[in-house]
Structure 1
Amino acid sequence: MAQVEIEIGGRRHELTCRDGEEDRLRLLGRLVDAKIGDVSRAIGKASEARELLLTALLLADELDEARNAAAKGRIEEAQRITAMERCAEKLESIAMRLEKPGENA
Structure 2
Amino acid sequence: MAEITLTVAGRGYSVAAREGDEPHLRHLESLLAKHADTAQRASGGLSAEKTLLYLSLILADLLDEAEKNPPSGVSPVLLDRIADRLEAVAAALEDDASNA
Question: Where on the TM-score scale, by shorter chain, does this alignment land: which range?
Answer: 0.5 to 0.7
Give the aligned length: 74
Aligned to 2:5: 5
Q: After the TM superposition, which segments of 4 or more aligned residues of structure 1 sit over 4 Å from their partners? A: 71-74
Matches within 5 A, 1:1-105: 1-42=1-42, 44-70=44-70
CA distance in 1, matches of 2:66, 2:8: 23
Q: Which region of structure 1 is more displaced relative to structure 2, 3-12 or 41-50? A: 41-50
| Per-residue deviation, 1:3 | 2.1
| CA deviation after TM superposition for structure 1 residue 41, in Å | 3.3
Task: Give 1:45 deviation, angstroms.
Answer: 3.3
Deviations 1:37-92 (A, max 9, x none): 22223553332221111110110010011111128989xxxxxxxxxxxxxxxxxx
What SS does the aligned partner of 1:37 have?
Answer: helix
Q: Which runs of 5+ in 1 are unaligned?
A: 75-105
Using the size of structure 2 for normalisation, the TM-score is 0.60
- Distance verdict in 2 for CA 1:45–1:15, change over 3 Å: closer
SS of residue paired to 2:15: strand
Q: Distance in 1 between matches of 2:44 and 2:55?
A: 13
**Cα distance change on mapping 1:73 and 1:21 into 2, 3 Å:** closer
Give identity over the alignment, percent: 35
| Ranges in structure 2 where 5+ consecutive residues have no aligned partner | 75-100
TM-score, normalised on structure 1? Answer: 0.58
The structure whose Rg is larger is 1
Q: Which amino acid aligns with 1:29?
A: E
